[in-house]
Structure 1
Amino acid sequence: MTQIPPRGIAPPDDFPYPSTQAYGRDAYGIWQTIAVKDVEQTFRWCSPGRFTMGSPATERHRGEDEVQREITLSRGFWLADTACPQALWSVVMGTNPTGFRGDQFPVASVSYDDLTEFFGRWRVLCPDFPLRLPTEAEWEYACRAGTTTPFSFGETINTEQVNFYGGARYLPDEPDQEYRGETVAVKALPCNPWGLYQRHGNVDECCSDWYGSNDDQELIDPSGPPEGGLRVVRGGGFDGSAGGCRSAYRSAGDPGGTWRSQGFRPAGGS
């Protein structure tokens, strides 16, 4: 029987969930690992907090839809430490739509309709730890991990840190960099300060919000417009520019559509 850690070690009152295989605290924070049919996925606890969402007017490659806002997240949440790997997708769905194959490579070419089915099937397999997509605010909060620079690694990135379309075309003051032309394993490159891998590049990550313009109001637990035609996609992919991998960069996708670098990172918690 799993022993519940002392209060203060694990944030939720009902931690750990019955499906927890292991849990603990390390240099990056609190984690727990869930197993479904012998396929494991680790989740990191993101505590409630306040941060500046969006980018300053001086940030290179800034988009007009990156208005800065002071955001408060009043509730903590669990976030997978990696984009969903193909092994986890396959064990839940029984299929694998990804072009670049490998159990520990991220699943890609998945639509929002596919994700709805994935979360429904997951709930049957693991009813005590339901999953969902993170909101756009949760996504950026966890991507930044306390940083305020364009990337969680600092002002610039290189292909030893991020899998993206590197080179002088996108970073004119940087030397040419290797372009891999495909995804890499979900833990092949360094994690951010909260222990979350590849928040920049590799695959674009879907968020739950409908895409819409932001304003500069201070918001608490924002979840985006009530309706829309496109969904928010964040993080940039292996075939995108450095500017598209920034913490504040926003893009959008057709809920029924797919592309070869579209993946996701599941979240848990209310």
Structure 2
Amino acid sequence: MPRALAVIGLSLSAALVSFASPASADDATPGIATEKPAEGPSVKVDEGYMVPYTFRVPGTDEEVEMIPVPGGEFMFGSPEDEADRRDDEGPQIKVSVDPMWVAKTEVTWGLYQEYMDLYGIFKEFESSGIRVVNDDNKVDAITAPTELYDPTFTYEYGEDEDQPAVTMTQYSAQQFTKWLSLVSGQQYRLPTEAEWEYAARGGTTTAYSWGDSADEIDDYAWYFDNADDGQVAVASKKPNPFGLYDVHGNVGEWTVNQYTEDGYVDFADKQGINATDLVKWPEVPSPCVVRGGTWESDAEDLRSAARMASDDEEWKSEDPNFPRSPWWHTSDPSRGVGFRIFRSYKPLPKETITKFWEAQAEDTVLDVESRMDGGRGGMGVIDKELPKAIEAIKK
């Protein structure tokens, strides 16, 4: 198809154990094994062991590898004496983190294209009166990204299946995770800032997941000094201690948080807060938080605590639409921005997971509604029957 924390019970080997292995439980709980695997990472939980698993996205040939990450506590943000620290990285907050699975790599073009293709499919459903979206089922509907205004910009550095997808907005990434969740039956989502940093640190307390010095950066990351041709295929450098690739560099990764210039001042009196609750939900479309640094970033911007603020005015400066696209950015540095999916060990309550899947900023909601009312967007209901419906219209 085209296109330092002590961690109990976790081997830091990056070796994978397929969900299809005999040690796995039933298909309703992917990533849970009844017995501890002989090798590879695992996390002890009530049902047995969280283990790595690979799932194929229903209706596609695309697969996603998920890695178990243990729960624990860590200091969110950077200490005041960390080299190259910025004011927006503190004050440090003691945060508790629940066990979770994290995608081994960022979402690639191969998979993101399947989501992009839904735009044409939804339009065909609409014109044929199939799977009509109404007030009763709209809660399970998503919008699909419109066709790219200028593909030559987005794809200038490639659109290979194994390259991370880029230039999507935070909202579009959220809707992607809703699609993936409802079609698969599992809760996938973007992370909070704290969850992202915990996963990226891999149990370390140093500036980078490999240490405080950038001397080894070429072994782990694509950044300004070694990636002058855009994003590179995922997993082509060393992983962090949890077995996650490209958490430093290649492309930055969306979180659900609104960016705050004063860092975490609002949470300073909430020491011990859970990472899933440490969220400043967006009240405006931008600035929101991107983490990890990009192929255009300097080494210090790849530190585990470094933050990047989105800027719709700059990142959509070439967009001729009004309102500007809720799904795409058109200008640099957005070609260095993608995302990675997370899944909590225990499913989140409906009212909580909905916040992760849907736009929270009123302006974004209004922009989407305007585009849909004008026939310039595609919306469709997502469920486990969607692949069959798509197959039927292709015959």
| TM-score, normalization by structure 1 | 0.82
Distance change (3 Å), C-alpha of 1:220 and 1:5:
farther
On the 8 A contact 2:259/2:289 being kept in 1, the answer is yes
3-state SS of the aligned residue for 1:51? strand
Q: How has the CA–CA distance of structure 1 residues 19 and 70 changed in structure 2, closer, same or farther, with 3 Å as cutoff?
A: closer
Cα 1:185/1:16, change in 2 over 3 Å: farther
User: What is the aligned counterpart of 2:201 among 144, 163, 184?
Assistant: 144
Q: 1:114 and 2:172 equivalent?
A: yes
Deviation digits for residues 79-102 of structure 1 (CA, Å, limit 9, x no counterpart): 111011111111233278642221
CA distance in 2, matches of 1:243, 1:225: 25
The offset of 1:2, in angstroms, is 6.4
SS in 2 for 1:260: helix
The worse-fitting range, judged by mean Cα deviation, of 233-242 and 217-226 is: 217-226
Q: After the TM superposition, which residues 29-48 of structure 1 pair with which residues of structure 2 at under 5 Å, given as runs? A: 29=42, 30-36=51-57, 37-48=60-71
Q: Are 1:72 and 2:96 matched, yes or no?
A: yes
How many pairs does the alignment contain? 249
2:256·2:281 contact (CA, 8 Å) conserved in 1? no
Q: 1:138 to 1:235 in 2, by over 3 A?
A: same
Counterparts of 2:104 and 2:182 in 1: how far apart (Å)? 22
Ranges of 4+ aligned residues in structure 1 off by more than 6 Å: 1-4, 21-24
Q: Which secondary structure state, in structure 2, belongs to the residue aligned with residue 132 of structure 1? A: coil
More helix by proportion, 1 or 2?
Answer: 2
Deviation at 1:57, TM superposition (A): 1.6
1:2/1:146 Cα in 2 relative to 1: closer, same or farther (>3 Å)?
closer
Q: How large is the Cα RMSD of the aligned pairs?
A: 2.7
Work out the CA distance in 1 between the residues paired with 2:203 and 2:94: 13
Q: Tell whether 2:272 aligns with 1:219.
A: yes
Match of 2:228? 180
* Counterpart-to-counterpart distance in 1, 2:30 and 2:281: 34
Instruction: Report deviation, 1:48.
Output: 1.7
What letter corresponds to residue 142 of structure 1 in structure 2?
A: A
Letter in 2 for 1:181: D
Alignment of 1:4-15 (within 5 A): 5=23
- Residue 108 of structure 1 contacts residue 260 of structure 1 at CA under 8 Å; is this kept in 2? yes
Cα contact 1:47–1:77 (8 A) shared by 2: yes
2:187 aligned residue: 130
Rate the CA distance shift 1:91–1:150 in 2: closer, same or farther, 3 A. same
Deviations 1:134-185 (A, max 9, x none): 111100000001111111011214323210012xxxxxxxxxxx34331111
Runs of at least 5 residues in structure 2 that lack an aligned partner in the other structure = 1-18, 43-50, 118-146, 313-325, 349-395
- The share of aligned pairs that are identical, in percent, is 29
2:342 is aligned to 267
1:22 Cα shift?
Answer: 10
**Does the CA contact (< 8 Å) of 1:205 and 1:265 recur in 2?**
yes
Q: Which runs of 5+ in 1 are unaligned?
A: 7-14, 167-177
Which residue of 230, 246, 249 corresponds with 1:201? 249
- The residue type equivalent to 1:159 in the other structure is D
Partner secondary structure for residue 160 of structure 1: helix
Deviation for aligned residue 1:254? 4.2
Measure, in 1, the Cα distance between the counterparts of 2:288 and 2:272: 20
Identify the range of structure 1 (32-41 vs 113-122) with the bigger mean alpha-carbon deviation.
Answer: 113-122
For residues 51-90 of structure 1, the C-alpha deviation after alignment (integer angstroms, 9 at most, x for no partner) is 11111222111110111221112x2222111011111111
Distance (Å, rounded) in 2 between the aligned partners of 1:187 and 1:194:
13
Q: CA deviation at 1:16?
A: 5.5
Which deviates more from structure 2 when the two are superposed, residues 147-156 or residues 222-231?
222-231
Equivalent in 245, 249, 253 of residue 306 of structure 2: 249
Partners of 1:208 and 1:241 lie apart in 2 by: 24
What is the deviation of 1:19? 8.2
Q: The residue matched to 1:115 in structure 2 has which SS?
A: helix
Deviations 1:197-235 (A, max 9, x none): 010000010001122230344132233224433221100
Task: Within 5 Å, give how 1:79-118 maps onto structure 2.
Answer: 79-94=102-117, 98-99=154-155, 100-118=158-176
Amino acid at match of 1:220: I
State the SS of the aligned residue for 2:206.
coil
Q: For the residues of structure 2 that align with 1:61 and 1:204, how far apart are their CA atoms?
A: 18
Instruction: Give the AA of the match of 1:35.
Output: R
One-letter amino acid matched to 1:83: E
Distance 2:236 2:210 in 1: 16
In structure 1, what residue type is equivalent to 2:94?
A: E
In 2, the alpha carbon distance for the partners of 1:146 and 1:86 equals 29
